[in-house]
C-alpha cells in the first residue's frame, strides 16, 4: 500500500509574461468588467485603498453547477482586504476562498500581484503572483490546481487565461 504524502508549498509563485501595458494588466486584475471575462469568470470587486475590501461573487453558471451536483455555492465566493495598492504596479491583499467549507475554515492568506515591464522586450510585462498560504493546506491544494481537490487549474489556469484574453481578446472557454 502506498500513501500520497505530497505536500503543497505554503508559498506559491507564478510568473507570466504578457504583451500588454501595466495599466491594461492592472485593469484586468482589478476591474470587475474585465476580471469577469477570463478564467472562472467570477467578478472581483476591489476598494483599492489600504484597508479596502475585496470580494468575488459566484456566477449563475457556478450556482447552476453546484445545484446540479447537490451542493450550494455562497453569493460571495472569495473575500479579503487590500493591504497595499500601488496602481499599476503592485497590489497586496488578503484572500480567503468561501465556496468550500474546508477552505472557508482556514485563515486568510496573502496574495501579492506585481507588474513590471520586461527588460527583454518592449511592450511586454512580467506579472508575478505570490500567494502566501501558511496554515491553509486546503487552499494551497486548490490554488495549486491539484486534481484531488477538483479545483480546476488554480492560479496557473487563471494567469494563462488572463494572458490569452489580454493578447487575443478571447478567453479559453469563450
pTM of the full predicted structure?
0.90
d(CA 26, CA 34): 10
pLDDT single digits (tens) 117-151: 998 889 999 999 999 999 999 999 989 986 554 55
pLDDT single digits (tens) 86-100: 999 999 999 999 988
**What is the SS3 string spanning 116-162?**
EECCCCCCCEEEEEEEECCCCHHHHHHHHCCHHHCCCCHHHHHHHHH
Q: Which domains does the chain have, with CATH numbers?
A: 11-167 (3.30.530.20)
Q: Which helix (H) or strand (E) holds 57?
A: strand 53-57
ω into 88 cis (within 30 of 0): yes
Residue whose C-alpha is closest to residue 62's, from 96, 83, 82, 36: 36
pLDDT single digits (tens) 19-43: 999 999 999 999 999 999 998 899 9
Amino acid at each position: 500500500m502506498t500513501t500520497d504524502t505530497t505536500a503543497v508549498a505554503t508559498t506559491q509563485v507564478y510568473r507570466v509574461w504578457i504583451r500588454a501595458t501595466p495599466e491594461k494588466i492592472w485593469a484586468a486584475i482589478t476591474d470587475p468588467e474585465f476580471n469577469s471575462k477570463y478564467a472562472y469568470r467570477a467578478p472581483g470587486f476591489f476598494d483599492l485603498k489600504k484597508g479596502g475590501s475585496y470580494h468575488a461573487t459566484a456566477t449563475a453558471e457556478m450556482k447552476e453547477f453546484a445545484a446540479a451536483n447537490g451542493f450550494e455555492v455562497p453569493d460571495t465566493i472569495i473575500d479579503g482586504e487590500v493591504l497595499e495598492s500601488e496602481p499599476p504596479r503592485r497590489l497586496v491583499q488578503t484572500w480567503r476562498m468561501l465556496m468550500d467549507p474546508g477552505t472557508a475554515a482556514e485563515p486568510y492568506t496573502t496574495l501579492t500581484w506585481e507588474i513590471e515591464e520586461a527588460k527583454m522586450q518592449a511592450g511586454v510585462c512580467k506579472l508575478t503572483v505570490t500567494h502566501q498560504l501558511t496554515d491553509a493546506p486546503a487552499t494551497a491544494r486548490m490554488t495549486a490546481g491539484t486534481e484531488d481537490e477538483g479545483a480546476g487549474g488554480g492560479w496557473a489556469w487563471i494567469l494563462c487565461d488572463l494572458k490569452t484574453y489580454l493578447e487575443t481578446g478571447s478567453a479559453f472557454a469563450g
